A = this chain, B = another copy of it.
């Protein structure tokens, strides 16, 4: 395709020239015509902030170590913050917005923690703060919620929001392998970090569902307020038992509107094999949304990866340029969302218990039934029970190896 120049041009700066930041430069280099068509004018890279030097990099000459040169450059109007972490990204973002520059970011930690404040500052300065890439890398879910689904009452959002844990669960399921072995392999392949706790303990998914919950309510859900369980307790026996139930085990972020407020959590769940999320495997992410008119729709894509995440950052840059001079509205405010206690939820549970205590579990929970028995264990599916009641009763029964929530589809 031949690219015919347009007169107007927007200059952007990248903060943090790592994986995602480098990807942003690459998208601008590879797709200049598409970016210009989307933004309505040419988008050029004006500066890169990083502590390191990049000898031989095509954009070497744009690298600066001094953030002030970017803040004070009036020709730079949009900033892509791809540093990650809260410090110094929070201060840098604030300073940019206060200087009248729009910011877009892939930084879920910062958005989950300070999103409402940064959005408020952006609005005060008639600029925008967008963060499509912070949830589900290459899945355009925030833009869809803000656009196509905005005339819907969103009842529920459920997502596979972390590629590392989904890869681990998929491999455990497919190969019958143990958690530790798969984790080790994932680390070797670069799918899991050397310190995998943010992924496997659910903190990464927690930040993402907190962002989605905030957008769903139009208020703010602090990540600390989200009950979060990771996948470290899941065993090959759980996955085999789930399969015998006709279900899969997935680490889900879930938020659901109830009469008491927003019920929100991150935890492993059993989901029916027919559920569209059940067949989302490997490092892919997906988000299912239920609207009162639209029913269930689902959005699937790469959860991370340099180019996919960078493409989402660039889509935000284009939206900012298209809307230059005004603040792109984002439905997140400082008002705390009303949360429903998780213990109030009624749902079914999967229980794996030593055979000698099977009868006690079956007796404790109405409509329970044993799905399968193997190697001295029974896998039991309970009937619907209030979570707080379930946990209290289960605490009184010995020999329980694991218990996992069941996501029941209300469609």
**B residues less than 8 Å from A274 (CB atoms):** 281
| A292 on the B face (CB < 8 A) | yes
Contact status B140-A311, CB under 8 Å? no
**B residues less than 8 Å from A308 (CB atoms):** 293-295
**Closest CB in chain B relative to A325 CB, distance in Å:** 15
Contact status A138-B279, CB under 8 Å? no
| A388 on the B face (CB < 8 A) | no
Closest to A279 in B: B279
| A181 on the B face (CB < 8 A) | no
| A347 on the B face (CB < 8 A) | no
**B residues less than 8 Å from A302 (CB atoms):** 294-297
**B residues less than 8 Å from A151 (CB atoms):** 27, 31, 34-35, 37-39, 311, 314-315, 318
**B residues less than 8 Å from A148 (CB atoms):** 132, 140, 143-144, 312, 315
| A386 on the B face (CB < 8 A) | no
Docked Cα-Cα span, A221 to B149, in Å, equals 29
Give the residues from 8 to 23 in chain A that come closer than 8 angstroms, CB to CB, to chain B. Answer: 23
| A270 on the B face (CB < 8 A) | no
**Please, what's the 1-or-0 string for A284-307, where 1 marks a CB less than 8 Å from any CB in chain B?**
100000011111111111100101
**Closest CB in chain B relative to A170 CB, distance in Å:** 10
Known pairs A143-B148, A151-B315 / 4 extra A-B pairs, C-beta < 8 Å:
A295-B307, A297-B301, A297-B302, A299-B299
Interface residues of A (CB under 8 A from B): 23, 26-27, 30-31, 34-35, 37-39, 132, 138-140, 143-144, 147-153, 274, 276, 278-281, 284, 291-302, 305, 307-308, 310-312, 314-315, 318-319
